[in-house]
Amino acid sequence: MSAQMSRIALARRPSGSPVPEDFKFVTDDIPTPAEGEVVIEVTHLSLDPYMRGRMDDVKSYAPSVDIDGTMTGQGVGRVLASKASGFAPGDMVTGMTGWASHACLPGQELRKLDPAMPPSTALGVLGMPGLTGWVGLHKFGRPKAGETLVVGAATGPVGSMVGQLAKSLGLRTVAIAGGAEKCKLATETFGFDAAIDHRAHDDARSLRAALAEAAPDGVDIYWENVGGKVLEAVLPLMNTHGRIPVCGMIAWYGGANIEDTNQLPGLWRSVLVKRLHVSGFIIFDHWDEYPAFLKDVAPKVAAGDIAYIEDVADGLENMPDAFIAMLKGGNVGKQIVKL
């Protein structure tokens, strides 16, 4: 195998939204595996909104990326060399490889892939995003037939999973997405009953009026991926005893000051008077449910009962640009980079 590998490192902490200068391309020697370790040649890498938070040096649920450290992230790839029981050259595996062409990881941190499914699905519909939607909807959304669900960032890998699962359980599903193309995908590909383009509304009041038409019986579950004006629009429409699984807040990942951008403090009164259940959750706390998720969802994906879309960029060197575009809503479906 080649003696050299490439990786994308954090060059500096971003100020607001990331820019290309926040990253740097680094060449290193490929590591030699120690006992219990596996060397992987990465074939596909995942890009996810949570990575923006890892670039900041602030206390959070997971460590920040160090300056000059490899950007964190999940990858899939082919085993090149193994000193770990159960792994052999040629096996396809997934693990937290980081933004790199190769990785050396303990075998206990890797999972073999089902050869019947495309490897990239382990990063999206059958990976962390899919699991997030499945766990969050069932555990924190507690859906009931006849209720109304609203999903922010509805055509992403998490939102599309939530919408499809809820629809199969008999809920009315309303998508919020950015642009006419994504709204069309929401209804025609992912089966949402209605879709609203948040870009067509200059403020939360206008967006709220459109939502009220799409959800005439109010909102029982709001899947929070976004924050910003979407949250501001939805909160007054929540029904008594509604549920809000808080999965992400991409509108604020660029460092925007919440108090300066919306009326959240005043609207938060809705949580009290409507007795809402607001549940922040991090999927890393629920990895024990992955086998049950896979057992339930993998056959549905294989049968075509759950649709998914992958937006594939080519080349490790294009990771920063693809990441920056994704944070601005430039991707369609799950953002993946193929090496």
The CB-based long-range contact list for 316-320 (8 Å cut-off, 24+ gap) reads 316/6, 316/7, 316/8, 316/25, 316/45, 316/99, 316/100, 316/101, 317/6, 317/25, 319/8, 319/23, 319/45, 319/47, 319/71, 319/99, 320/8, 320/18, 320/20, 320/22, 320/23
Encoding tokens for residue 188?
């025609």
Q: Where are the alpha helices (DSSP H) in the chain?
A: 50-54, 128-135, 157-168, 180-188, 204-214, 228-234, 258-261, 264-267, 269-273, 290-302, 319-327
Number of H helices, E strands in the chain: 11, 15
Phi-psi region for residue 317, left (φ > 0), alpha (ψ -120 to 50) or beta? alpha
Percent of the chain with pLDDT over 70: 94
Quickly count: other Cβ atoms within 10 Å of residue 47's Cβ: 25
pTM: 0.89
User: Where are the domains positioned within the chain?
Assistant: 4-124+309-338, 128-283
> What's the maximum distance between 2 C-alpha atoms anywhere in the chain?
63
Domain 128-283, CATH homologous superfamily name and number: NAD(P)-binding Rossmann-like Domain (3.40.50.720)
Nearest residue to 187 via CA among 145, 218, 152, 154: 154
Task: For residues 198-210, give the mean pLDDT.
Answer: 95
Q: Rounded to an integer, what distance in angstroms lies between the CA atom of residue 93 and that of residue 101?
A: 14
Q: pLDDT confidence of 63, banded at 50, 70, 90?
A: confident
Closest residue by Cα to residue 156 from 176, 136, 180, 135: 176
Question: For residue 223, what pLDDT band results from cuts at 50, 70 and 90?
Answer: very high
Percent of the chain with pLDDT over 90: 81
Examine domains 4-124+309-338 and 128-283 and report if their fold is the same. no
Q: Which pLDDT belongs to residue 65?
A: 96
pLDDT of residue 117: 93
Distances (CA, A) of 215 to 131, 164, 218, 279: 27, 17, 5, 22
What pLDDT, in 10s, does the model give residues 81-139? 999 999 999 999 999 999 999 999 999 999 999 999 999 999 999 999 999 999 999 99
Residues forming a β-bridge with 148: 172
> Is there a contact between 314 and 337 (Cβ–Cβ < 8 Å)?
yes
Q: Residue 98: left (phi > 0), alpha (psi -120 to 50), or beta?
A: left
Helix (H, G, I), strand (E, B) or coil at 134: helix
Q: Does domain 4-124+309-338 fall into CATH 3.90.180.10?
A: yes
Q: Are 203 and 229 in contact (CB under 8 A)?
A: yes
- Percent helix, strand and coil across the chain, each rounded to 5? 35, 25, 40
Query: CA angle 164-170-176, nearest 5°?
Result: 45
Task: Give the separation between CA 62 and CA 58, rounded to whole angstroms.
Answer: 10
Residue 256: pLDDT band (50, 70, 90) is very low
Least confident of 34-48, 169-183, 254-268: 254-268
2 to 65, 83, 244, 319: CA distances (angstroms) = 27, 19, 49, 21
